[in-house]
Amino acid sequence: MRIAVLVSGSGTILEAMLGAGIDVSVVLSDRACRGLDVAADAHIEAILLEREFFGGYGASFEREDYSTAVSDLLVERQVDLVAMAGFGTVLARPIHDAFPGRILNTHPALLPAFPGWHSVEQALEAKVPVTGCTVHLATLEMDAGPILAQVEIPVFDDDTVSSLHERIKEVERELYPATIIKAAAALSQGYEIEDQFTNKKETTP
């Protein structure tokens, strides 16, 4: 089972995956970041595919071409499963066509509530009593794919964006690796990932 991890930041989720014993084959990033250093230190192939070569940021970004380049690199390496780990670029159809039902993502909210960016801020502004962490299959629509696992996290009256986000990340670093392991096992046994997940919601003590 060859697993690719896509990162853009500090690599703490990647570290959690490695700590859980996940055998990561390749790590790819859209920018220079610590996540690539984590991969290199673990003797994992680390690929930097910068957006600057595809129009950079904003309206000039060539999303389809960039997504094709990412897809081609992963297909060349015979990747079976793709795990987004704080990847900062929304990818287009080419990678979804190459890895249908085999791209995982983690999100700091209880989807379908608060999709997209700034979900922790949205949860605080909405004054919800609980938020959480969701692992789902990535689809063309952002944060709208089938939900694989969720954990509820209480929101406290004195929470800030930072304090709440940190508690979510603590849960995420356990939930995401566990979900990846289960998804990889499903693929290894010839099953579709989505079909192997039931009883998706848990609650922290």
The domains of the chain, with CATH numbers, are: 1-100 (3.40.50.170), 105-205 (3.40.50.170)
pLDDT for 197 equals: 84
How much is the average pLDDT of 5-12? Answer: 97
Q: Does residue 55 surpass a pLDDT of 90?
A: yes
Q: Tell me, what's the pLDDT at 198?
A: 63
Residue 203 pLDDT greater than 50, yes or no:
no
Is pLDDT of 202 > 70?
no
Q: What is the pLDDT of residues 14-43, one digit of tens each?
A: 999 999 999 999 999 999 999 999 999 999
- pLDDT tops 90 at residue 200: no
Would you say residue 140 has pLDDT above 60? yes
Position of tokens 């960039």? 66
What would the mean pLDDT of 188-197 be, rounded to a whole number?
91
Residue tagged active-site, from 96, 107, 136, 165: 107
State residue 196's pLDDT score: 85
Is 205 a residue whose pLDDT tops 70?
A: no
- pLDDT over threshold 50, residue 88: yes
pLDDT in tens, 98-124: 999 999 999 999 999 999 999 999 999
Whether residue 107 lies in the annotated active site: yes
